[in-house]
Structure 1
Amino acid sequence: MRKHTIRFLIALLIISSISFSVPGSEAEASTAVIDSYISVNSVTKNATNQTISVKYTVKKTIPSAIGLCIGYEWPSTYRLSSSYNYCKAVNKTAGSYTMSIPKPSINIIGSQNVVVKLSGGYSEKKNVKSVFNYPTTKVVKPHTVTKADALAEYFVVGGIGVGVKFMKNNALGFVTKTAYAGYTTYYGLKGIGVISGFPPAAVGQYYIVETWYNSNGLNVKNTIWASKAAYDSKHQPIYTGTVVSRW
């Protein structure tokens, strides 16, 4: 009888361990309270003013003891203080609503994680969507190629939130560890391979480097004249072209 009891208990433990390790069960349980009150219908990033519009539905009246908010958090890899995150309380009455989340208070180029957070007796967090934060302005930088530039493996021209590295093999790289034009780029930009028709760097060449961001990523437009005098005299550039480093 004792052997049967031991076997039964062992079998029960095995079944229990299997039932509690079903893939996805933890993820579903982790936002059970949030899901019972809130459903997010859409998240839209406004490219003009960098606000975020969130349409959501409150399924049933939320008790006063439960705190629910929608906002954003920066990825942990950015190593930013949590004080730069943002969360706004939702409407507690059942119905459909639209929330506007303001642009960040710091000049960051990179991804924002839109989240729903629960506070009260215990906490939950649900990641809803990842969007990109970037400036809506453009930076235009002139640069005259020096002898040192022409001999070096690369030279750098500062753009908006990034330093553009003009490589000796006519490829573009990027410097993101330093703030450029008041912005810091946390997102890992991809270098651009050899550019067709791009002329080798020569002493005296005059570059106009334009950088801006859109939903595709970082845009870099290069216009090159043989010299500053040629630019001033409105001669045709020896090269013009735009390349994109995608998100």
Structure 2
Amino acid sequence: MNRLLHKWPKGILVGLGAVILSTLAIQASDSLSGVSGQLASSITGNNSVCGEGAEIILFGTHSVCMDIFEASPSKSCTYEMPKSEVETQVNVSKDSCVAVSKEGAEPWRFVTYTEASQLCARDGKRLPTAEEWYKVALGHTDVTACFTATLAKTGANNCVTPTGIHDLVGNVWEWTADTVTGGMYNNNELPNSGYVALVDGSGLVIETTETPNPQFGEDYAWIDKSGVRGLLRGGFYGSGDDGGVFAQNIAVPLNFTATGVGFRCVKDVW
């Protein structure tokens, strides 16, 4: 799973190529972002609805407050920088411990899908869907700054979308709300693991190849078609060429934890 550790340049062609090729996978009545016909937009800097640490993101059918930064433990948590699955479990067992969106913090890692979902719910939030994550991340035109050789504090990298969201790509993989069962997603069978060659309107991989595809940033999709799998997006600090806007890990169970896996939360507005 760790196809990693070399630096890489990625430029504007990633975004432009993705728009061209992704459209081929969508019916004429839809758009790149799905049936809503719109990509994500935001009212950057408007905290009257979302409060500090989040930006309101506008989709065609709904809007959410998306946390600007990857989740980190609140001060009421026993461990402010969990270093193991056990330390996360201790935090989760404390009802006053919640996930916060704060600049300059260490991202909360060693957290399972269920724990991430529970922590978001404690603050009236939820995990973003894979499609919501993708629509916001697609705003990146150059993700060169998103990958470093080591973990970075939230907001430390110059990795920010036009909607003001930091570190969607790189730093840590992010759990989304979606799951995949038996290699099937929305009644469609996923391809085998490989370099992303085509995605649907929600950004889910529908075609892979054995060689890197520059049109999709040379991003990689890890896929296990057995059992119930989570859907993580973006890659982590060591992903190198394999990580990016189109990178996805659909190969781990929901109880998986690792040093390179974290999450962020969103809150429904309307």
- Per the normalisation by structure 1, the TM-score is 0.22
Bigger-Rg structure (1/2): 1
Q: Which has the higher contact order (CA 8 A, sep 6+)?
A: 2
Instruction: Name whichever structure is richer in strand by fraction.
Output: 1
